[in-house]
């Protein structure tokens, strides 16, 4: 069995990427399973998805603890304690990362050998080909398919299965073009082999969870909130950057910011609280003088 774990942020399409890979594997004759895991659907929040491919019925369910391939859509997730994309990786694991850095420039990723780390700027590929960041799902799903030894025709069939019900013919054509570029980008990478193991399956002990009354188990609505302590600034893919020389202090960004992440300084210029800014870029789109620009987040 091949076990693939996708890590991304809400809005990057990793749920769709896992489905593209699963559909491509189905067209190749594999038995497949894919499932996402996330809480409330909030753009920028860390999420993960899992795809299994096997030649026999798949009896595993849930989280993939020991992945053969980990696909990371955003390198900032490496430092996010809520994501931990490298958890469970060992010397037999492979990492596919979306980053502007070259593989040789990346720091060691836990137990994963440097030869098993493959990196490319799939964000740039998606924006250049489709002008949409949502197409990152196609680029990473198809690149993962290539790493697993699936053919281009099988990868394209997976893309068509997942996107044709939702996109116009024009958008589909652009995503097919992106899939071809992403597949070619991964062409020289070695194919991942199934792990050969004779280990007995791990037995999971079921735990009885005791019931507590609401006075103990439920949170108090009168308690002081802890939401200010949740620094959602690490959810960003792009950050808004102010160019003060273009700012007319119209306050539109201050008024429209849905997270109240923009304040005003002593001279009424906007100041972005990057600890709380989620990167929705509403300020970039609303600013009448284009004083805000979007810059890709790299930590």
CB 140 within 8 A of CB 181: no
Distance between terminal CA atoms of the chain? 35
For residues 253 and 95, is the Cβ–Cβ distance under 8 A?
no
| Domain ranges for the chain | 2-185, 229-296
- The dihedral built from the CA positions of residue 142, 145, 149 and 155, taken in this order, carries a sign that is negative
Separation of alpha carbons 229 and 221, rounded Å = 17
Q: What DSSP string runs through 61-79?
A: -S--SS-SEEEES-GGGGG
Q: What pTM does this model have?
A: 0.79
2-185 fold: Pyruvate-ferredoxin Oxidoreductase; domain 3 (3.40.920)
Looking at the domain that runs over 229-296, which CATH code has it been given? Answer: 3.30.70.20
Mean pLDDT by 10 residues, the chain (299 residues): 93 92 96 85 85 93 92 89 88 92 75 88 93 92 96 95 88 93 93 74 69 76 61 84 95 92 94 91 94 85
Q: Tell me, what's the pLDDT at 137?
A: 94
């Amino acid at each position: 069995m091949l076990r693939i774990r996708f890590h991304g942020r809400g809005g990057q399409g990793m749920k769709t990427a896992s489905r593209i890979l699963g559909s491509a594997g189905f067209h190749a004759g594999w038995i497949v399973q894919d499932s996402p895991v996330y809480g409330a659907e909030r753009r920028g929040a860390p999420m993960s998805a899992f795809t299994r491919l096997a030649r026999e019925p798949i009896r595993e369910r849930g989280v993939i603890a020991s992945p053969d391939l980990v696909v990371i859509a955003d390198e900032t997730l490496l430092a996010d304690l809520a994501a931990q994309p490298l958890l469970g990786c060992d010397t037999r694991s492979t990492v596919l990362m979306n980053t502007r850095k070259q593989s040789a420039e990346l720091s060691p990723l836990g137990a994963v050998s440097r030869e098993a780390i493959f990196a490319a700027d799939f964000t740039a590929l998606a924006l250049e080909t489709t002008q949409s960041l949502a197409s990152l799902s196609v680029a990473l799903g198809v690149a993962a398919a290539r790493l697993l030894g699936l053919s281009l025709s099988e990868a394209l069939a997976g893309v068509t299965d997942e996107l044709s019900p939702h996109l116009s013919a024009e958008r589909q054509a652009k995503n097919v073009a992106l899939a071809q570029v992403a597949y070619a980008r991964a062409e020289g990478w070695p194919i991942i082999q199934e792990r050969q193991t004779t280990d007995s399956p791990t037995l999971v002990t079921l735990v009885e969870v005791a019931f507590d009354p609401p006075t103990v188990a439920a949170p108090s609505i009168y308690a002081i909130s802890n939401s200010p302590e949740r620094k959602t600034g690490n959810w960003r893919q792009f950050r808004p950057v102010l160019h003060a020389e273009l700012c007319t202090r119209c306050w539109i960004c201050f008024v429209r910011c849905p997270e109240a992440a923009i304040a005003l300084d002593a001279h009424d210029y906007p100041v972005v609280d990057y600890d709380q800014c989620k990167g929705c870029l509403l300020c970039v789109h609303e600013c009448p003088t284009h004083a805000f620009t979007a810059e890709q987040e790299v930590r």
